[in-house]
Structure formats: C-alpha cells, structure tokens
Structure 1
Amino acid sequence: MTPILDRAAFIRANTRLLPVPQVPEIRLHLADDATELWAKTEADLGQLNLPPPFWAFAWAGGQALGRYVLDNAGEVRRARVLDFASGSGLVGIAAALAGAARVEAADIDAFALSAIALNAAGNGVDVDARGDDLVGRDEGWDVVLAADIFYERDTAGAVTTWLRGLARRGARVLVGDPGRSYFDATAFEPLASYDVPVMRSLEDADVKRSGVWRVKG
C-alpha cells in the first residue's frame, strides 16, 4: 500500500473544520471517531502501532487552557510562547489570537505538525510547528503552555521537573488539566476551572471539569 505522502490532504479528507465548544472563536480540523481515524491512518500508511490521533480532537485540558488564554490575554501578549505537546495547535492558536509576539507549537507526531499548520491557517494566525522533543531544553521562552500531558507516570514526572525548572528560571508556565492520572497538584497553583463540553467516547463524560494551573516557581 502506498504511504500517505500528503498529510494535509489526509487531514482535510478525514476531519471537519469546526468551532471548539469551549473556545468557539477557534475552529479546528476535528474527527468524529478516534478509533476509526486511527485505523484508517494505519491502513493508509501500511503501518501498525502508530500513535493515537491526539491532533484530531479538542481535549478537555486544552479547551480550558485555550479559554483562559483568550480571556487573560495579558498572560501572553507580546511574549515568545511555546505550546508544548500541542496536538491540534489549539492552545498555541489561542496565544496567537491573544497577541503573542511569536508562538511555537511542538509535537513529536508528524500528523500533528500538519494539523497545527492547517489549523493556524484556518484561524488566520502564524504558529511555528516544530517536531523536536523539547523536554529538558530551555530556549528562553517567556511563556510555556501545556495541556493534557499527564497520562503516563514516567512522562509526567519528567515533564513536571522540566516545567518547574523553566518556572524557576522566570518563565510563566501554565497548564490545562482535567485531573489526569499523573497530574501532581502539589507542583501547581490553581488559576481557573471550567466545565468543558467533550466527546463521551474520549472522556467517558459529556462535560469534564478542567482546571488551569500555574507551575510553582
């Protein structure tokens, strides 16, 4: 089977450009069913064990953080911003709309990078998508935004340590999380919370209470 050569075309063909429930100012290329899209991606690429298509959905923590950023534009205005583990690019797009000087959206999934570019263009903003693993690095960002990243113990621990280091250096580090398994609330202080509409097939609920937190420096 011929591998997908044009990821952007695949994304357009298998998603719809829709407003995000908690952040309707932003539209994303969203899928209706995670399992179906995942299977289609593997079939079209002729590869198994690909990462899930996290980029095709507006997750609860990202919606909460995106809402907070738009409502509190002073957090990012004129700043150099990193949207870490960006997925769809939702949070980075919110930062760009809120007046950030530069936004970088990092994700190690190649499909996410294509989705970020499409979604940024669909919202008329500039977001630089980058595919390198940034954990442990510090490139001088003023603000670091991260959402829905505390699924796995080892990853959560490493990311939390890294984010706390950035905060001690002076970066403003904001996190969106709906209570994922390995979210360590002792490392953060709460800023806001939202009742976020989500897909039951993804979150086992129609509404997920999600918080926005600041990393303690």
Structure 2
Amino acid sequence: MSPPLVPEVQLQLAHEAVPLWQKTEEELGEMGLPPPFWAFAWAGGQALARHVLDHPELVAGKRVIDLASGSGLVGIAAMKAGAASVLAADIDGFSVEAIGMNAETNGVSLTATPQDLLAAPAADCDVILVGDLFYEKDLAAKVFAWLEDAERRGIVTLIGDPGRSYLPREKLKKLGEYRVQVTRDLEDAEVKLTSVWRLSRYC
C-alpha cells in the first residue's frame, strides 16, 4: 500500500504492530525480537519523504544516507527525486530485507545495510536523511552528536519528526510542516503534525 502522505511510493506495510510481531516470533520460534518498525510508515519518515519529493534539488545528483531506514520509504523517495545513490541503513535484519523488497517494488536501486553507522563518523556522502529517530533519550543524543559532526564536515542533514520528546528543537531550523495520517495502533492520534528540520547553525 502507499503511505497517506506519499502516494508515489508503494510499500509492504502492516495494519497492526502486535499481531505481526507475535507471528514473527512464532514463525521463527524466537522470543524477544525487536518491534517490526520496518512494517510501518512512521510520521517523521512520511513527512521527510514528502519534503524530498517536493524539493528534489535537496538530493538530485547527490549521495544520500537514509539513517534508520525502516521500510526504506525515505531512501526510495530520495531515489525517485533523482539522488545519485542511497545507502539505506538499519540495524534490524528484517528491515534490510524489507528495504530491498520495497525498492524493487518501486523500480529503484539502492544499497541496504545492517551496519550501525553511528559507530563511526558518517561515511563520505552529500546528504543524510533521518526520519523519526528521537524517541529515546540516549539514542537521540548519540544521533544528534553524529549529525552535528556530519554538518561540520559539509554534509547536509535533514530530520523528519512528529514532536518526539528528545528532539532538540532549540538547535534546529524548521524547513516544512505536514499533517500526517497515522495509525492509532502506534500513535496517540490519527493525525500527527510533523516537521522537517535542519541544524540551525548550518542553514
């Protein structure tokens, strides 16, 4: 199906999180698997994908990293907007498989990796896209420090976020705002007001 805000992209998506999660654990006979983040088009990712498609000059002809890619939505949108290449990174192996499937469905070619990119400075690229990754305090601090380092090195970093608790808004400049339809199975509302940001000192 297509995410509500990004009809140009088709993804393998789930309607409910818990049943899919339980079914995966049952099929594999393995408990304690991470939540199936890859099976949903999160608000931050939808807004960022929409922004990239509406402003293709941000990625056209450029090397892009889609951090914590999940379903691959943002990376796929970047390729559709003319990116030269996309590295879609997610530490969940299921996500890496989903990204490959979704890219093929949309007729784009990108590279998916389970490598934890936060373990080292950002690889040589032009743009980093981050959708909905500021939901946990320690992770948010680590991600932001990594993005600051990337910006100091001349890499443009864009964040899509629906108002998660640990997004440092005071250090960011808002580039766009979107009303994103989401599922109540994941969020506290059916529509999330979601923004696209960049580190303010580099705008």
Question: 2:177 matched to which residue of 1?
Answer: 193
Q: Does 1:152 align with 2:136?
A: yes
Q: Does 1:206 align with 2:171?
A: no
Q: What's the offset of the Cα at 1:127? A: 1.3
> 2: CA distance between counterparts of 1:171 and 1:113?
24
Root mean square deviation, CA, Å: 0.8
Question: 2:36 matched to which residue of 1?
Answer: 53
Q: What's the offset of the Cα at 1:215? A: 2.1
Q: What's the offset of the Cα at 1:43? A: 1.0
Question: 1:71 matched to which residue of 2?
Answer: 54
> 1: CA distance between counterparts of 2:41 and 2:85?
22
Q: Does 1:35 align with 2:25?
A: no
| Structure 1 stretches of 4+ moved >2 Å | none
TM-score (norm 1): 0.90
TM-score (norm 2): 0.97
Contact 2:121 2:149 in 1 (8 A): no
Q: Give the length in aligned residue pairs.
A: 200
Q: What's the offset of the Cα at 1:186? A: 1.9
Residues 178-189 of structure 1 aligned to structure 2 (within 5 Å): 178-189=162-173
> 1: CA distance between counterparts of 2:48 and 2:155?
17
> 1: CA distance between counterparts of 2:94 and 2:74?
17
> 2: CA distance between counterparts of 1:105 and 1:140?
14
Question: 1:3 matched to which residue of 2?
Answer: none
Q: Does 1:163 align with 2:143?
A: no
2:163 counterpart SS class: coil
Deviations 1:120-141 (A, max 9, x none): 0000001100110001322111
Q: What's the offset of the Cα at 1:48? A: 1.2
Q: Does 1:215 align with 2:192?
A: no
1:38 counterpart SS class: helix
Residues 135-150 of structure 1 aligned to structure 2 (within 5 Å): 135=118, 136-150=120-134
Q: What's the offset of the Cα at 1:187? A: 2.4
Question: 1:81 matched to which residue of 2?
Answer: 64
2:25 counterpart SS class: helix
Question: 1:173 matched to which residue of 2?
Answer: 157
The letter for the 2-side match of 1:58 is A
Question: 1:115 matched to which residue of 2?
Answer: 98
Please list every run of 5 or more consecutive structure 2 residues that lacks an aligned counterpart in the other structure.
none
Question: 2:89 matched to which residue of 1?
Answer: 106
Q: Does 1:131 align with 2:114?
A: yes
